[in-house]
Structure 1
Amino acid sequence: MNNPHSAILEYVGKKIALSENDREILISSFHFVKKDKNDLILRKGSKTEYLYFIINGYMRCFHQKEGGEEVTTQIWGPGDFATSFESFLKSNLSPDYIQCISNCELLCITKNDHENLYSAIEGWPLFCQNVYETYILRMSERMHILQNLSASERYMRLLNKQPNIALNTSVKHLASYLGIQPQSLSRIRKSIK
């Protein structure tokens, strides 16, 4: 990738006006990192110091039930911000794990650098409000879907709204995210081919 920062500059630039100085500040604040498939970037019970912007790849947020079963609560792909927002914003211990489910190219920003952007870039508070509102709306929509749609409807909705996530996530993680058994998801997939 020639300029890993171009993705975030484009993303932020669609939401708020950026001066050349603002662009330079963003470039110096976000650091490029590569992570391998299955890397855990956050463990339950630890504090996160980073907010990640996904350039390429997929990540998931999950928790473990008492018996060890993993429940995927979020799947993020290119153009998404990923972190334990509760831990990042409030300095709380994370209730979840975050894992790369493919090789990932990421931009990360520390909590301190993120907070400094509030005074360094005029539109940053508005941009962050937009990111957090989007996250809250996604969580609300997810709860509605899990409570009101059948397993087939949940999968078809994901396939229509977020096909890249549906096609680039393992059956095990996707089934957990959709709240169904992997065998049921396999049957649903076969029935629509």
Structure 2
Amino acid sequence: MDELFGYLLQFGSLNQRQLDLIASKATPLALLKDAYFLEAGHVSRRVGFLQEGVLRICYYDNKGTEITRNFIDELHLTTNLRGLEEGLASPEYVQAVTDCRLLVFAKHDWDGLAHTIVGWSDMVHKMTSKHLNEKLARISPMVTQDASTRYREFLDHYPRLANRIPLSYLASFLGMTQSSLSRIRKNIR
């Protein structure tokens, strides 16, 4: 629970009573490798805080090719934001790349915190903004970079992830084939 509290306190101040309330709403969840936290076509009804492990966000394009869009590692939140807020079915999957431990909040409990904790909505807004900015910072350069540069930047920004995720997922995320990524890795070593 301390990891969650540390994460939340980056975005605002909370007293012990508020932290206890938040803790009372969180449910531990163990997710085995390859299991889904959220499946495409389902409406997100929970928010997860990843304590241990790696998740990936993926979808299938119109040719049926699986595309990895993002990775989520420890000490980050996961949900389908549009689905959570608007009740829309998710177009993507959130899948465990490794065995994972999460703290999970049901949507009604997460929303209920805004009615109980002054400033909670502002904190959630700050969390969402930080996540979106991180996503843009990661995706924007990928459009103009060559494959080797994309891989090197991934290693620079996410050194703890490179050896924890399958090569096929990383290649998909970086927008290249697995054999291209293998060649790049060989040349970098």
Structure 1 length-normalised TM: 0.93
Report runs of 4+ in structure 1 exceeding 3 Å deviation.
Answer: none
- Alignment equivalent of 1:100, drawn from 89, 96, 109: 96
* Correspondence 1:13 to 2:9: yes
Aligned amino acid, residue 34 of structure 2: N
Shift of 1:120: 1.6
Residue identity opposite 1:144 in structure 2? S
Q: State the aligned residue count.
A: 189
Moved more, 160-169 or 55-64: 160-169
User: Who is 1:40 aligned against?
Assistant: 36
| Helix, strand or coil at the partner of 2:57 | strand
Partner residue, 1:144: 140
* Residue in 2 that maps onto 1:116: 112
Q: Hey, what's the Cα distance between the residues in 2 that align with 1:180 and 1:67?
A: 16
Instruction: Write the deviation string for residues 75-117 of structure 1: whole angstroms up to 9, x where unpaired.
Output: 0000111122221122101011111010000011111111111
Deviations 1:2-34 (A, max 9, x none): xxx111011112321110111101101111110
Work out which of the residue numbers 116, 131, 134 in structure 2 matches 1:135: 131
Q: Give the Cα separation in 1 of the matches to 2:168 and 2:88.
A: 29
SS of the residue 2:70 aligns to: strand
Q: Return 5+ residue gaps in structure 2 as ranges.
A: none
Q: Distance in 2 between matches of 1:158 and 1:124?
A: 33
> Counterpart in 2 of 1:165?
161
CA contact (8 A) 1:33 1:106 kept: yes
Taking every aligned residue pair, what percent have the same amino acid on both sides?
25
Between 1:20-29 and 1:127-136, the stretch displaced more is 127-136
What amino acid is aligned across from residue 45 of structure 1 in structure 2?
A: G
* TM-score with structure 2 setting the length: 0.95
* Cα contact 1:76–1:165 (8 A) shared by 2: no
Residues 35 and 104 of structure 1 are in contact (CA less than 8 Å); yes or no, is this contact kept in structure 2? yes
